[in-house]
Amino acid sequence: MNQTPDKARPTPRAGIMDIEAYVPGKSTAPAGVAKVYKLSSNENPLGPSPKAIEAAREVAARLDVYPDGTARRLREAIAEVHGLNPTNIVCSNGSDEILGLLAQTYLAPGDEAIITEHAFMVYKIYIQSAGATPVSVKETDERADVDAILAAVTPRTRIIFLANPNNPTGTYVPFQEVRRLHAGLPRNVLLVLDAAYAEYVRRNDYEAGVELVAGAENVVMTRTFSKIGLGGARIGWMYAPLHIVDAINRVRGPFNVNATAIEAGIAAIRDRAHVERSVAHNETWLAWVSEELTRLGLRVTPSVGNFVLIHFPEDKKHSAAAADDYLTARGYILRRVSGYGFPNALRMTIGTEEANRGVVAALKTFLKS
């Protein structure tokens, strides 16, 4: 019996196959490379907190038991460290899950959500998954432009996703500018402040978003444990008004944070000494790497995160693609960022001293070749 193509097999709904899948940074080098330095995923070069490792081990004997579906103790630990009310916190399987749940909950076909031109790629994926339209606005000097965002708001706008600091640029929006953005929005538009790299920022005019969330009904702050040492545990969280917490709790999975992640997260966030060591290491080597790469004649976007965006010359011999191949062959794995609108740049995570010095030395030789 003849069947029309759309009845021959299950097919995704309209728009799903138009989504460009997220491609993570590579993590391997060619065979024969003696040592690999993975600098492609913005992981903590000091590793996880030793206390988190021990807490995760202790869970192993209880893996037959479901975790607490509300992650109450983890929420309480987060609240204790940051001075928050635990009832305003939702924990998740990485902050990516929260971002997806917000899109699923507050967007519908015909709606619009605003992102900036070099924003984290998952925003667009989640917007399209909800059947809504992503609206990309230009940045100024590789930083989100508040006036451009406000100019893009229409009656169809429902969400604004603002990564602060942004990935992959490392730039940030001063908090007075974030407040100006919020003040210019209609009250029914949700402002999502993605503060994944907040721990690393050392600027007097930066604030992750706690104060703004506390005084507004249409602001959410998302955070993650991934950048400070628990990327493999996949722990994220949201601080939001209670009406948004209630909505997200209705659509999230019933046990979306696993038992190992809960216990490791509690130990990690309370290990402030490990966090401080990690931030101090980053502060030292972020400045060193940026200065040394600039001395080589490369442009480096000023970053407040735990990574730098490195721009390469236009000639093919010394392009980002050529540099990537050269570094990979020597075990240094950086991140290609063509999908973010930077076809001739690489993003480098701040690594160990050995890794940082090795990349600079390799690029010095590469540029002279």
The tens digit of pLDDT for each residue in 280-332 reads 999 999 999 999 999 999 999 999 999 999 999 999 899 999 999 999 999 99
The pLDDT score that the predictor gives to residue 1 is 43
CA atoms within 13 A on the CB side of 305: 28
Is the per-residue pLDDT at 28 higher than 60?
yes
Per residue in 51-71, pLDDT (tens digit) is: 999 999 999 999 999 999 999
pTM across the whole model: 0.94
Per residue in 122-169, pLDDT (tens digit) is: 999 999 999 999 999 999 999 999 999 999 999 999 999 999 999 999
The pLDDT score that the predictor gives to residue 3 is 44
**What are 292's two structure tokens?**
């040394």
**Distance (Å, whole) CA 174 – CA 177:** 5
* Closest C-alpha among 121, 41, 94, 30 to residue 350: 41
Is the per-residue pLDDT at 185 higher than 90?
yes
The pLDDT score that the predictor gives to residue 8 is 86
The pLDDT score that the predictor gives to residue 278 is 98
Q: Tell me the average pLDDT of the chain.
A: 96
What mean pLDDT comes out for the span 212-225? Answer: 97
What confidence category does residue 5 fall into, taking pLDDT thresholds of 50, 70 and 90? low
What mean pLDDT comes out for the span 66-90? Answer: 98
Is the per-residue pLDDT at 4 higher than 60?
no
What confidence category does residue 215 fall into, taking pLDDT thresholds of 50, 70 and 90? very high
Is the per-residue pLDDT at 239 higher than 60?
yes
| CB-CB neighbours of 17 under 10 Å | 8
Q: Are 357 and 289 in contact (CB under 8 A)?
A: no
| CB-CB neighbours of 147 under 10 Å | 13
Residues 6+ apart with CB under 8 A from 292: 360
The pLDDT score that the predictor gives to residue 2 is 47
What mean pLDDT comes out for the span 3-20? Answer: 81
**Distance (Å, whole) CA 291 – CA 284:** 11
Domains of the chain in sequence order: 12-47+273-368 (3.90.1150.10), 50-271 (3.40.640.10)
